[in-house]
């Protein structure tokens, strides 16, 4: 297993290096052919510019493909990892030019073989330095979060790292036990799946004896959603629904549900059956251990996604990487709505501002910034099989950015006015 993981890292490193080299060539062509860097001096400048940009691009390609664990703290990335990577890449190039090539020339090795061996040695040198010295230094963030300093790559299927490690000695243990567990489900025109979603959740929670309520917020649906909810309530009094009294929108519907649930804790669940009911049990158990919040990630060991549209996957990983770096978080799936919170957390992060899907980012980031205990566990996500997704990527970019930046300002400028006064535990980054 370990050998396969190392081989996978090497292949990804090679692919990342190829992408970086390709970018270098493209930049050189653009600078020389398009922008007129055609004199000897300007060609040298073009070479420096293209090499520097491709080196930086290569660094982030490697961080996204090969060494995605460890610290994404902005200070660590800009002032430690990136400079060290420059040294590593420069040393690899110099080893090829000053050592490998002269020795092979002296041995009268064919220039083609000479070049291939030089590239291979340089590649190996760069990989070893990067793997052993740059991305494995101890990280205070990693220690706080209980993360190994061995930084294995994340992926769509189970991988070798586990962000959810939470030694029992660091378990909070001081919070009150959870009595009733509420499930809040926003629903807009979900007649094709709302019955199966609610039924599966109730059956799963009943089976393990969890006291629960399922609160569906009908977001002014135009189909038979409300009629079906009436039938579900008649069959099971633990299932109830309310009509959204705010304007239409995912964020408004969730906010309506968070103002009306009656449990000691709440999980936000999608109506399309994409979230695993078994993971709701996992959330409940972690909350019982004393955590204030439980965040699921689809992109750590044990996590899984099924039938994720590729364009959404790319946007998802870039957006989550941006948030992860900006806040220095161990959490790599902030944008996913499926998370659980104690009632006092919801009260502590109110009032909520988001009208739309950016609420999925606002709630966890506020909880983390304000100092609530959290842990991260792997979850499973499946793409909907009926109905139409309500998320419109083109409409959400600026709204996500607004919420992220507003919370970032709170983190750095509020002087801890909103922070819960407590000692951070496993899985929590204290953002004072």
**What DSSP assignment string belongs to 244-295?**
--S-SSHHHHHHHHHTT--SSEEEE--TTS-B-HHHHHHHHHHHHTT-SEEE
pLDDT, tens only, 21-43? 778 788 878 888 888 887 878 87
Q: Can you tell me the distance from the alpha carbon of 130 to that of 126, in angstroms, rounded to the nearest whole number?
A: 6
pLDDT, tens only, 195-253? 999 999 999 999 999 999 999 999 999 999 999 999 999 999 999 999 999 999 999 99
- Within a 10 A sphere around the Cβ of 245, how many other Cβ atoms? 11
Q: Between the CA of residue 220 and those of 22, 226, 243, what are the distances in Å?
A: 51, 9, 7
- The answer to whether 68 and 153 have CB atoms below 8 angstroms apart is yes
CA angle 429, 427, 280 (to 5 degrees): 130
Q: What are phi and psi of 235, to 5 degrees?
A: -80, -30
What is the structure's pLDDT at 331?
A: 92
- Within a 10 A sphere around the Cβ of 310, how many other Cβ atoms? 7
Neighbouring-strand partners of residue 293: 341, 374
Q: What is the pTM of this model?
A: 0.64
SS3 state at 135: coil
pLDDT, tens only, 345-366? 999 999 999 999 999 999 999 9
Least confident of 122-136, 328-342, 344-358: 122-136
- The answer to whether 356 and 142 have CB atoms below 8 angstroms apart is no
Neighbouring-strand partners of residue 341: 266, 293
Say if residue 157's pLDDT is above 90: no
If DSSP states are collapsed to H, E and C, what string results for 258-271? HCCCCCCEEEECCC
Nearest to residue 228, comparing CAs of 249, 199, 205, 266? 199
What is the structure's pLDDT at 312?
A: 82
pLDDT, tens only, 272-320? 999 999 999 999 999 999 999 999 999 998 999 988 888 888 888 888 8
pLDDT, tens only, 163-174? 333 333 334 545
- The answer to whether 161 and 152 have CB atoms below 8 angstroms apart is yes
Say if residue 425's pLDDT is above 80: no
CA angle 4, 85, 310 (to 5 degrees): 55
């Amino acid at each position: 297993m370990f050998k396969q993981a190392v081989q996978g890292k090497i292949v990804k490193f090679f692919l990342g290096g190829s992408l970086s080299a390709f970018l270098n060539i493209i930049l050189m062509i653009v600078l020389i052919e398009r922008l007129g860097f055609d004199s000897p001096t300007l060609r040298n400048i073009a070479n420096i510019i293209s090499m520097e940009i491709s080196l930086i691009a290569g660094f982030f390609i490697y961080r996204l493909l090969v060494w995605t664990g460890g610290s994404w703290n902005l200070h660590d990335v800009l002032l430690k990892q990136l400079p060290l990577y420059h040294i590593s890449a420069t040393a690899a190039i110099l080893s090829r030019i000053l050592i490998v090539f002269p020795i092979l020339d002296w041995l009268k090795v064919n220039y083609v073989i000479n070049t291939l061996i030089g590239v291979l040695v340089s590649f190996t040198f760069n990989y070893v330095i990067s793997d052993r010295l740059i991305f494995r230094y101890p990280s205070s963030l990693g220690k706080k979060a209980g993360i190994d300093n061995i930084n294995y790559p994340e992926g769509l299927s189970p991988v070798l790292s586990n962000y959810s490690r939470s030694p029992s000695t660091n378990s909070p243990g001081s919070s009150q036990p959870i009595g009733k567990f509420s499930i809040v489900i926003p629903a807009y025109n979900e007649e094709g799946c709302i019955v199966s979603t609610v039924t599966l959740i109730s059956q799963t929670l009943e089976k393990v004896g969890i006291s629960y309520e399922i609160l569906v917020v009908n977001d002014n649906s135009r189909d038979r959603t409300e009629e079906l909810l009436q039938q579900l309530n008649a069959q099971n009094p633990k299932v109830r629904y309310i009509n959204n009294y705010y304007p239409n929108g995912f964020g408004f519907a969730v906010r309506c549900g968070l103002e009306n649930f009656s449990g000691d804790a709440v999980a936000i669940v999608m109506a399309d059956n994409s979230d695993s009911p078994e993971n709701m049990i996992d959330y409940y158990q972690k909350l019982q251990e004393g955590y204030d919040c439980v965040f699921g990630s689809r992109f750590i060991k044990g996590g899984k996604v099924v039938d994720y549209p590729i364009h959404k996957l790319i946007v998802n990983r870039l957006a989550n990487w941006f948030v992860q770096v900006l806040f220095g978080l161990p959490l790599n799936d902030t944008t996913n709505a499926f998370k659980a919170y104690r009632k006092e957390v919801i009260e502590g992060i109110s009032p909520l501002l988001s009208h739309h899907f950016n609420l999925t980012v606002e709630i966890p980031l506020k909880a983390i910034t304000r100092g609530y205990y959290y842990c991260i566990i792997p979850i499973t996500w499946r793409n909907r099989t009926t109905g139409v997704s309500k998320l419109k990527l083109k409409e959400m970019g600026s709204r996500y950015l607004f919420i992220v930046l507003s919370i970032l300002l709170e983190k750095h400028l509020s002087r801890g006015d909103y922070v819960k006064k407590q000692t951070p535990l496993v899985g929590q980054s204290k953002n004072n």
